[in-house]
Amino acid sequence: MYAEVIVDIAHTAVDRRFTYRIPEGLSVFVGHHVFVPFGLGDHLKEGFVVALKNTADYPDVKDIQRIIEPYPVLLPEQIALAEWMKESYHCLFVDALRLMIPAQLRGMRVKEKKVRTVKLAEGVDLADAYEALKKAPMQKRVLELVAKVGAEASLPDLNAFYPNCTASVNALIKRGYLVEQSETVFRRPDKLRLHTPPYALTEAQTAAADAIRSAMEEGKGDVLLLHGVTGSGKTEVYLKAIEDCLRAGRQAIVLVPEISLTPQTVGRFTDRFGDRIAVLHSRLSPGERFDEWRRIRLGLADIVIGARSAVFAPVDKLGLIIIDEEHESSYQSESQPRYLTGEIAARRVKTAGGALVLGSATPSLMSYSRALSGKYRLLKLPDRVAGRPLPAVEVVNMRDELLMGNNSIFSDKLAERLSECLGSGQQAMLFINRRGYATFVSCRSCGYVLKCDNCDISMTYHKTESRTRCHYCGAVKPLPKECPNCKKPFIKQFGIGTEQVEEAVHKLFPAVKTLRMDTDTMQTKGSYEKLLSAFHRGEAQVLIGTQMIAKGHDFPNVTLVGVVAADTTLNLPDYRAPERTFQLLTQVAGRAGRDNLPGRVVLQTYEPNHPIVRFAKAQDYESFYHYEIMERKKLLYPPFSLFLRVVFADRDETAAQRGCLEYAKALEAELRHSLGKEGSQDLLLLVAAEAPVARISGFTRYQILVKLLRTKRLKDAVSTAATFHDAHKDVCADVRFEINPPEMF
Binding site for Zn ion (CB under 5 A): 452, 454-455, 470, 472-473, 475
Our finding on whether 288 is near ligand ADP (CB under 6 A) is no
Residue 231 in the binding site for ligand ADP (CB under 6 A):
yes
**Element spanning 724, H or E:** helix 714-728
The dihedral formed by the CA atoms of 260, 104, 115 and 154, expressed in degrees to the nearest 10: 10
Choice between 144 and 383, CB closer to ligand ADP: 383
Q: Which residue among 385, 455, 597, 635 contacts ligand ADP (CB under 6 A)? A: 385
Q: Which option in ligand ADP, Zn ion, none does residue 470 bind, with CB closer than 5 to 8 A by kind? A: Zn ion
Provide, rounded to whole angstroms, the least separation between the CB of residue 613 and ligand ADP.
Answer: 22
- The DSSP element (H or E) to which 703 belongs, if any, is strand 699-709
- CB of residue 745 vs Zn ion: minimum separation in angstroms? 12
Task: Map residues 468-507 to x or -, x wherever contact with ligand ADP holds by CB under 6 A.
Answer: ----------------------------------------
Max intra-chain CA distance, the chain: 102
CB of 459 to Zn ion, least distance (A): 8
Give whichever of 293 and 555 is closer to ligand ADP, judged by the CB atom: 555
| CA–CA distance, 401 with 386 (Å, rounded to integer) | 38
Q: Which does 205 bind (CB under 5 to 8 A by kind): ligand ADP, Zn ion, none?
A: ligand ADP
- The one of ligand ADP, Zn ion, none whose footprint includes residue 44, by CB under 5 to 8 A per kind, is none
602 binds, among Zn ion, ligand ADP, none (CB under 5 to 8 A by kind): none
Residue placing its CB nearer to Zn ion in the complex, 138 or 473:
473
- Residue 144, C-beta contacts closer than 8 angstroms, at least 6 positions apart: 130
| List of residues 6+ apart from 715 with CB closer than 8 A | none
230 binds ligand ADP (CB under 6 A): yes
Contact by Cβ (8 Å): 494, 604: no
Pairing of β 392-397 and β 600-605: parallel
d(CA 244, CA 320): 10
Report the residue count for the chain. 745
Any contact of residue 205 with ligand ADP (CB under 6 A)? yes
- Size of site (CB under 6 A) for ligand ADP: 17
In the list ligand ADP, Zn ion, none, the entry touching 196 (Cβ below 5 to 8 angstroms by class) is ligand ADP
230 in Cβ contact with 258 (< 8 Å): no
Q: Pick what 232 binds: ligand ADP, Zn ion, none; C-beta below 5 to 8 Å, kind-dependent.
A: ligand ADP
Nearer to ligand ADP, 117 or 264 (CB): 264
Residue 385 or 635: the one with the smaller Cβ distance to Zn ion is 635
Give the Å distances, CA to CA, from 499 to 132, 370, 517, 591, 670: 70, 41, 10, 22, 51
- Listing DSSP states for 616-642 in one string gives HHHT-HHHHHHHHHHHHHHTT-TTSEE
**Comparing C-alpha atoms, which of 428, 431, 433, 646 is closest to residue 538?**
428
Nearest by Cα to 328 from 364, 370, 377, 380: 364
**d(C-alpha 164, C-alpha 263), whole Å:** 37
Amino acid at 123: G
Based on CB atoms, which residue is closest to ligand ADP, 205 or 427? 205
* Choices 75-83, 107-115, 196-204, 479-487; region in contact with ligand ADP by CB under 6 A: 196-204
In the bound state with ligand ADP, the residue whose beta carbon lies nearer, of 300 and 385, is 385
Residues 559-618 that bind ligand ADP (CB under 6 A): 594
Query: How far from the centroid of its chain's Cα atoms is residue 137's Cα?
Result: 56
202 scored as a contact of ligand ADP (CB under 6 A): yes
Examine residue 325 and tell whether it contacts ligand ADP (CB under 6 A).
no
Q: Which of 386, 404, 618, 669 binds ligand ADP (CB under 6 A)?
A: 386
CB of 67 to ligand ADP, least distance (A): 44
| 742 neighbors 643 (Cβ within 8 angstroms) | no
Pick the piece of the chain touching ligand ADP (CB under 6 A) from 68-76, 223-231, 367-375, 682-690: 223-231
H-type alpha helices, 31-165: 76-89, 93-98, 126-132, 137-149, 155-161
CA distance 14 to 698: 32
Q: Considering the complex, what minimum distance in angstroms separates the CB of residue 360 from ligand ADP?
A: 9
CB of 537 to ligand ADP, least distance (A): 17
Tell me the one-letter amino acid at 659. Answer: G
Binding partner of residue 454 among ligand ADP, Zn ion, none, CB cut-off 5 to 8 Å per kind: Zn ion
Question: With binding defined as CB under 6 A, does residue 232 bind ligand ADP?
Answer: yes
Residue 341 in contact with residue 325, Cβ under 8 Å? no
Among 4, 46, 236, 302, binds ligand ADP (CB under 6 A): 236
- Please pick, from the candidates 47, 102, 221, 233, the single residue that binds ligand ADP as defined by CB under 6 A: 233
Q: What does the binding site for ligand ADP look like in residue numbers (CB under 6 A)?
A: 196, 199, 201-202, 205, 228, 230-236, 385-386, 554, 594
